[in-house]
Amino acid sequence: MQIKTKVTEMLGIEYPIIQGCMQWFATADLASAVSNAGGLGVISSASFASAEDLRTEIKRCKTLTSKPFAVNISLFPSLNAVGYHEHIKVCAEEGVKIMETAGRAPTEYIEEMKAAGMTVIHKCVAVKHALKAQSIGCDMVVIDGYEAAGHIGAFNTGTMVLTPSAVDALSIPVITAGGVCDGRSMAAALMLGAEGVYVGTRFFMTEECPASSEVKQTLADKYGELDTYIGLHPYKNDTRFVLNGLMKDVVALEAAGEPFEKVAPYVAGYRTRKFTQGGTDLDEGSLCIGEDIGLIKDVPTVKELIERMMDQCRSQLNRFN
């Protein structure tokens, strides 16, 4: 059974599976592995301090895969914001044809991306934001349910409601994010009307993800669906983290009403990046992980994972034939 959708057709990929953008972890190594296995790999531009560093990573990805891959431009508030126009220019010069944006509608960037012949995917957490993205010319949207890792917004709408709501409201393809980690959840998303799925936490838990194997194994062995925490809510930046030792300190600071300046050092990027630099103790860094960590019990290769997801998805879709 072939599963072909508007997403596979428009992006030129074999399977409607898109790797989630994860700062520090969405590198050429992970992105190329996903693309080579039939999905769409994504490089996080926010991981690179300069446009030339991003150019180097794009060039490296092109040596690792001949398949399509995307670059994410994160428009979220940041302690270390980068030059978005410069990053888009580099992507255009390097022939990147798929861009993902997130954080806010890319109104001031859409014209230059479209002029470069790019397909623009915008990730958002509410139908009203998806409609805005459609109105300015985005080609498809990722709609991010409450179960997801990272920035989840303040609307608290789960995937089972958010996906069909977006499908009903939009004329462009909708991609489901939030809680998708296997073929069962992929089949559910397709049955809800999605044209593809966006997978973050499950791809974090693969061999090719550059996080330390010790951190990944700790998550697989000891963490479940109740072991996440929505932090930064008092500062209007709701973000789902793994509830580890460091995040329990954040819980206490937020409960005490401390200002963001006291909390910021706990969630600074360097604490996450250390997991790619030899850090093996999960309690020592902040890490965005989705509720579906409770369903993830192993650390396969990307190829093994995608093949498993597709086999299980086909099986689920054929259950009632």
Q: What is the pLDDT of residue 321?
A: 82
Q: What is the pLDDT of residue 320?
A: 84
Residue 79 banded pLDDT, cuts 50, 70, 90: low
Q: Where are the beta strands (DSSP E) in the chain?
A: 17-19, 41-44, 69-74, 98-102, 119-124, 140-144, 150-151, 174-177, 196-199, 228-231, 239-242
pLDDT in tens, 277-305: 999 999 999 999 999 999 999 999 999 99
Residue 80 has pLDDT above 70, yes or no: no
> What is the rounded average pLDDT of the residues 79-101?
90
Residue carrying the six token digits 């669906």: 225
pLDDT in tens, 118-131: 999 999 999 999 99
In the DSSP assignment, the letter for residue 41 is E
Residue 38 banded pLDDT, cuts 50, 70, 90: very high
By residue count, the chain amounts to 321
Regarding the domain with residue range 6-209+298-317, which homologous superfamily does it belong to in the CATH classification? Aldolase class I (3.20.20.70)
Sketch the domain layout of the chain as residue ranges: 6-209+298-317, 213-292
pLDDT in tens, 161-214: 999 999 999 999 999 999 999 999 999 999 999 999 999 999 999 999 999 999
**Mean of all residue pLDDT scores within the chain:** 96
